[in-house]
Amino acid sequence: MQFGVFSVGDVTANPTTGTTVSEGERIKAMVAIALKAEEVGLDVFAQGEHHNPPFVPSSPTTQLAYVAARTSKIVLSTSTTLITTNDPVKIAEDYAMLQHLADGRVDLMMGRGNTGPVYPWFGQDIRNGIALAVENYALLRRLWREDVVDWEGKFRTPLQGFTATPRPLDDVPPFVWHGSIRSPEIAEQAAYYGDGFFHNNIFWPISHTKQMIDLYRRRFEHYGHGAADQAIVGLGGQIFMRKNSQDAVREFRPYFDNAPVYGHGPSLEDFSRETPLTVGSPQEVIERTLSFREHFGDYQRQLFLIDHAGLPLKTVLEQLDILGEEVVPVLRKEFAALKPAHVPDAPTHASLKAAAERARDLETIKEPTR
């Protein structure tokens, strides 16, 4: 199972000091978090894509390429790549380039985002959101898998004899997760292609998340990719830890109360009860995270949000130390002991490359009998 962190890249005032970091400082802080994540032994660093204040990560490939040059093991992912407003041709080329620079340590999470105004900024209509996600991704898959593409659709100009460059590393496209919190059509899309489904359940109760994941698992099996419990599932989560839970609650409360996304709404206690937000001791985070399996089954990727709401970089790096030293080693051991042998691990470039080579070898063996 993969464990990691994701960042939405918000620039938010620290409610305890009243200070706000600059955009440049926030961008460099995200790099520092990624480097620290590898240092403490996490598997994944993921970042979002936003094109509006107060967020800074408008160009994920630029930042992830910089991180790739300074790391050697950690998988670099997006926590959203906007499949609706980005040109699929540009996505195909940008992430294939990143694949080569990172020696394959790249995957993507496709999403529609949660900012309505982004659609007209990039010449699209939000009312076409689902249709754009379906058409653009279908084209993206062909661009990565076919050397020459002839294509015509509804939302962009046709392609004739087009080749996206560079080609994917080892002719193996990056693995794709489809991220959605509310759209069954996206769960269906992930199941249809046999891709991963990531439910970023940071704002949602267990009942809703379970409904979406169960739908994806049923449809994954329906399309013949394997049994329902073999579907590739990822989850989000929010945590804040200190040695004593009372200290964690006291320290985190002002950040929660003033956060742009949920401040001045439900209390910290109510939000913690209704969503995966866990503020407490490392043991409480371990127990809460292990409980996800009881509701959602065996899953492949767990990402934590730890750097939002104006938390200072020093505090975030302390959270990473706790994750790497006290939390993730226990979670790895416990989840591994519970996982049945037939449930796959999260796909990586190495595993996808090996599968492609086996498929080619099998095809070669069959060829003389045709």
Does the pLDDT at position 70 exceed 80? yes
| Chain centroid, CA 8 distance in Å | 11
What does the CA dihedral 46, 178, 303, 286 come to, rounded to 10 degrees? Answer: -170
For 281-317, b/e burial (b = at least 16 CB within 10 A) is bbeebbebbeebbeebbbbbbbbbbbbbbbbbbebbb
Give the per-residue pLDDT at 259. Answer: 84
Which residue, among 253, 231, 251, has the nearest Cα to 243 in the 3D structure? 251
Q: How far is 231 from 216, CA to CA, in rounded Å?
A: 8
Q: How confident is the model at residue 370 (pLDDT cuts 50, 70, 90)?
A: low
**306 phi and psi angles, rounded to 5 deg:** -135, 0
Q: How far is 144 from 136, CA to CA, in rounded Å?
A: 13
Tell me what the mean pLDDT of segment 320-338 comes to. 98
Local structure of 241: helix, strand or coil: strand
Mean pLDDT (the chain) is 94
Does the pLDDT at position 59 exceed 90? yes
**278 phi and psi angles, rounded to 5 deg:** -125, 115
Contact 3, 281 (CB under 8 A): no
Token representation of residue 90 = 């540009």
Instruction: Give the Å distances, CA to CA, from 248 to 13, 229, 239.
Output: 20, 35, 10
Tell me what the mean pLDDT of segment 363-367 comes to. 77
Give the per-residue pLDDT at 177. Answer: 97
Give the per-residue pLDDT at 261. Answer: 75
Tell me what the mean pLDDT of segment 335-352 comes to. 97
Contact 210, 277 (CB under 8 A): no
Token representation of residue 27 = 């961008």
Q: How confident is the model at residue 300 (pLDDT cuts 50, 70, 90)?
A: very high
User: Strands, DSSP E only, in the chain?
Assistant: 2-7, 44-47, 75-78, 81-82, 106-111, 149-151, 159-162, 175-179, 196-199, 233-235, 239-241, 278-280, 301-305
Give the CATH architecture of domain 2-366: Alpha-Beta Barrel (3.20)
Report percent pLDDT > 70 for the chain: 99
Q: How far is 181 from 109, CA to CA, in rounded Å?
A: 13
Tens digit of each residue's pLDDT (9 = 90 or more) over 108-156: 999 887 677 888 888 888 888 899 999 999 999 999 999 999 999 999 9
Q: How confident is the model at residue 369 (pLDDT cuts 50, 70, 90)?
A: low
More confident residue, 122 or 177: 177
Tell me what the mean pLDDT of segment 6-35 comes to. 96
Give the per-residue pLDDT at 114. Answer: 66
Give the per-residue pLDDT at 368. Answer: 62
Does the pLDDT at position 56 exceed 60? yes
